Structures are given as C-alpha cells and as structure tokens.
C-alpha cells in the first residue's frame, strides 16, 4: 500500500514543494450500500459511485470552496494546485526549462510572428471540442490577468487567421512558447468560478462530498494513477494538524513566504527546480562598487553560494541568473564569472589592507580610501534575515566592512528607490525564459541598481 501512495504523490507533485503520503480520512461518511450514480451530472459534476470499503485508497487534498477554481481569478494556492489537474496549457515547461506542446498540434515562428495550430482531438469535460477561439480567448484573458500579464507585455496582437491562432510580438523572443504554459478555458468563461477544462480531472460532488474525478474523455485516462481525489476544507490553523495526522495527503509550502505554516510529522520533502532567483543587487552609484567592475566581481567571488543555498535558502548554487537545469546555463561562462584566486584579485583591483587595521581599503586616483558597504534586507522574512547575516559574515571574513541594515518592508523599498544602499538582498520570480529585463532595464519593476545603459557604460 505504501508503494501505491508514493505513485499518487509523484503524479500530483507537479507544483508541490512539501509532500506527505497519509492513508486516513475523517468526516467523509461511509455509506451502508453503494448508491447509484448521480443522474444530475454536469460538466463540472462527475458521476460518482463511492468506494469507501478500503479507506487506504483515499487520497485527499485541501480545498477552499469560496475561492473557486478559475485559474485566472483564483488566488488561493491550494485551489491553484487543483487547477493544474483540471486545466491544460497550450505548452508545458519541462524540468530542464525547455517546452513541449500540449494543446497545440504544430507551430512556427520567427521570434516576432507566431502561428499555432490547435489540436482537434481534445474535448472539454462536457464533451465539446476545444477550438482555436478558446485558445485565443485564453491568451487574451491571460494577457489581461494580474497573474500572467507580466510575461505578456510584449504581445502586440492576437487573432485567428486561416483556422490557426496568430500572435505577434513587439519584441523578438524565439522562446515565446515557453510563456504559453497558461490554462485554456472556454471562450467567454473568464468570469465564472468553475470554468470547464480539458485536464485529466474534473470537479464532482455527491451528497456534500467534493472530489476530483478522472475524466474518461482524457487521452491519458488509462494511465492516471488514481481515479478520485477527495477535497476537504481546512483553515490555515487546521491545516498543519490535518496534514500531520494524514487527513490531508499533500501540501505546498514556500519557506520564504511570511506566515507560512511549519509542517512536520512523517513527511517526505521534495524540492523542485524553479525560476526564483535570490540575488545581491548593486547600487549603480555606489562609490566603491560602480567605479570598477573588478570590484563587483570581487564581491561576487567572496560569496560561498553553496553554503547560502544549501543551509539558508534550501536552493541550488548558481553563478548565472539562470537555473542550472536549463540549457541556457553555460558552465564555461559561469565558471569564468568569479575569481578563483581572491588574494591575487584583491591586488589586481588595488584593494588591500593598507593600514593594517583588519579592514580593506582601496586606491582611487593614487589615494588610499576607507570604505564600508551598506547591505539592506527586508526584516519580515526570517530566512532572508539569516541569509543576509551570513552574506555579511562571509564578506567580513575577507576584510570588507559591512553595515547590515534590517529594514521593514516599506523602509526597505524606500531605501531602494532613494538609492540609500550599496548592496541589497532580494528575490524575484523570473519568467520561464529567464528574461532579465525587469531587473536590468530602465523602468523594470525590479530595477533598483545598475541599469542596462549604466552597465554598457561600465
């Protein structure tokens, strides 16, 4: 039975970070006899024949009814996890951050203009076929939604021509299909709480019991590891206990999210490669850092990324702003981005302890100058605080005088906007194509330090 539960977890763990495989369920009534299938099934209500004779077969996820299951308007992370099973994208991002078509039969493009032929053998849960108009409507809905609008800033136009979906961009991107891992819904369904999907599971209900039922019309129906996933509603306060007592079998957790529950119990922790980047930003007007690129490279070389990533962040070490699992992580460039011999690099950058006080100084126009680096971090995340303190200690071990300032969220952003820092520690969720424009372009939503123009001038 343990092997069976592990298979379930592996399937569901498309987006999960923390998982546990339990085998008990409370508060779901066990009928004395098997009832007949519900005669009132709808596109969002699967026919239901409860099999409660063996409760070990029950797999349960958390669910909030009031949040709905609209992938574009829902904000509850538990329900968004369920949406991954109800809806399918035009393309899906693979573990190596490449892409493959799901609802697209074929496609072509030159980086600016793209054409997509939508599959004709896919049906929604009510049996009606998906159309190119549904695909167009979903792209437009995604472009206008709060969740996806950031990735689609470059879309200039979306239309249907010759029976195919056409998209033109204002800025070239040959990897644009990477960004089309958006859920496809029916044309006109953006404002409904429970739109129909094409995914392997559909929402069902029987006498107050809510569940996801395997969709018999799905092309992978015979390969699904479980026919039914039960849904139970627990508050944030109840969820930890429900999970640890195996009434909920899988949860997601972000260690850097404020107020995130601390899950324990007999758990199996799994980590997934993501596009979340933790980084040190540089003030383009920092006297010490901006005057010589060797000094910025020197600071980067002093960081023990293996310790920071493994001990404090729970992530993986990277020398480039790209996940190492991606084909765009060029190892030769990464290895050459830091100094191997820091003492020699200090001499080369004219940065030494000239007066013997244990702190480094640097030479500027023949004059030896003291310097101190102001490192700012938001103090509302304990994990980030520990990481920032570790960064400060690592730099101090080389003789860098670091002034760590642990600021409230508002004061942290005030410091960034005013340029009142030399370094700042932050994180950003990049798009699947690892576009850095929000970080490096003038006017980017996360551009507080060196801009592209300033980098070009250095």
Residue 42, domain CATH: 3.40.190
d(CA 265, CA 246): 9
Q: pLDDT at position 360, please?
A: 93
Q: Tell me, yes or no, whether 11 and 103 share the same domain.
A: no
Residue 209, C-beta contacts closer than 8 angstroms, at least 6 positions apart:
28, 29, 48, 50, 230
Q: Tell me, yes or no, whether 255 and 320 share the same domain.
A: no
pTM over the 0.85 mark: no
Using alpha carbons, select from 249, 387, 254, 224 the residue that is nearest to residue 310.
387
d(CA 453, CA 282): 14
Domain count for the chain:
3
Q: pLDDT at position 450, please?
A: 52
Q: pLDDT at position 52, please?
A: 41
Is residue 100 in some structural domain? yes
Name the residue range of residue 388's domain: 276-457
Q: Tell me, yes or no, whether 305 and 233 share the same domain.
A: no
Is residue 193 in some structural domain? no
What CATH number does residue 440 fall under?
Answer: 3.10.105.10
Q: Tell me, yes or no, whether 309 and 169 share the same domain.
A: no
Is residue 73 in some structural domain? yes
Structure tokens at 88: 């399918």
Q: Which residues pair with 86 in a beta bridge?
A: none
Q: Tell me, yes or no, whether 322 and 250 share the same domain.
A: no
Q: Tell me, yes or no, whether 336 and 440 share the same domain.
A: yes
pLDDT tens per residue across span 370-404: 999 999 999 998 889 999 999 999 999 999 999 99
Q: pLDDT at position 268, please?
A: 75
Q: Tell me, yes or no, whether 221 and 159 share the same domain.
A: no
Q: pLDDT at position 57, please?
A: 59
Q: pLDDT at position 138, please?
A: 98
Start-end of H helices in 397-449: 409-418, 437-440
Exposure string of 303-331, with b = 16+ CB inside 10 Å and e = fewer, is bebeebbeebbebeebbbbbbebbeebee
Is residue 190 in some structural domain? no
Q: Tell me, yes or no, whether 344 and 293 share the same domain.
A: yes
- Regions in the chain scoring below 70 on pLDDT: 1-57, 255-259, 264-266, 449-458
Single residue among 269, 303, 330 that ends a domain in this structure: 269
Using alpha carbons, select from 337, 342, 301, 306 the residue that is nearest to residue 321.
337
d(CA 351, CA 370): 10
């Amino acid at each position: 039975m343990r092997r069976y539960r592990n298979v379930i977890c592996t399937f569901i763990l498309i987006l999960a970070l923390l998982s546990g495989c339990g085998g008990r369920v409370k508060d779901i009534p066990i009928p004395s006899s098997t009832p007949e299938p519900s005669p009132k099934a709808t596109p969002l209500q699967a026919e239901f024949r409860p099999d409660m004779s063996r409760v070990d077969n029950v797999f349960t996820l958390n669910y909030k009814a009031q949040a709905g299951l609209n992938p574009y308007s829902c904000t509850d992370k538990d329900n968004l996890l369920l949406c991954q099973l109800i809806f399918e994208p035009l393309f899906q991002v693979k573990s190596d951050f490449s892409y493959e078509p799901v609802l697209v039969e074929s496609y072509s493009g030159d980086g600016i203009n793209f054409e997509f032929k939508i599959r004709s053998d896919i049906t929604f849960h009510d049996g009606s076929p998906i159309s190119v108009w549904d695909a167009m409507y979903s792209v437009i809905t995604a472009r206008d939604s709060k969740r996806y609008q950031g990735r689609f800033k470059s879309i200039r136009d979306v239309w249907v021509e010759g029976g195919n979906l056409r998209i033109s961009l204002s800025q070239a991107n040959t990897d644009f299909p990477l960004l089309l891992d958006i859920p496809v819904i029916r044309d006109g369904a953006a404002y409904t709480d429970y739109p129909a999907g094409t995914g392997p599971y559909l929402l069902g209900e029987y006498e107050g019991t809510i569940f996801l039922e395997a969709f018999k019309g799905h092309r992978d129906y015979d390969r699904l590891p479980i026919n039914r996933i039960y849904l139970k509603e627990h508050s944030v306060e109840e969820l930890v206990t429900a999970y640890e007592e195996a009434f909920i079998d899988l949860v997601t957790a972000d260690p850097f999210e404020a107020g995130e529950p601390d899950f324990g119990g007999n758990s199996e922790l799994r980590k997934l490669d993501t596009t979340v980047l933790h980084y040190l930003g540089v003030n383009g007007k920092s006297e010490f850092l901006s005057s010589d690129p060797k000094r910025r490279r020197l600071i980067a070389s002093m960081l023990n990324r293996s310790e920071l990533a493994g001990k404090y962040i729970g992530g993986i070490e990277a020398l480039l702003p790209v996940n190492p699992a991606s084909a765009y992580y060029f190892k030769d460039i990464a290895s050459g981005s830091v100094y191997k011999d820091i003492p020699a690099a200090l001499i080369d950058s004219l940065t030494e302890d000239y007066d013997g006080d244990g702190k480094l100084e640097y030479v500027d126009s023949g004059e030896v100058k003291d310097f101190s680096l102001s490192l700012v971090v938001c103090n509302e995340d304990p994990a980030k605080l520990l990481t920032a303190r570790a960064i400060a200690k690592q730099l101090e071990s080389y003789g860098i005088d670091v002034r760590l300032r642990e600021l409230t969220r508002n004061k942290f952003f005030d410091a960034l906007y005013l340029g009142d820092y030399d370094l700042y520690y932050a994180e950003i969720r990049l798009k699947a194509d690892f576009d850095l424009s929000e970080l490096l372009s003038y006017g980017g939503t996360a551009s507080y330090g060196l801009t592209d123009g300033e980098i070009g001038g250095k």
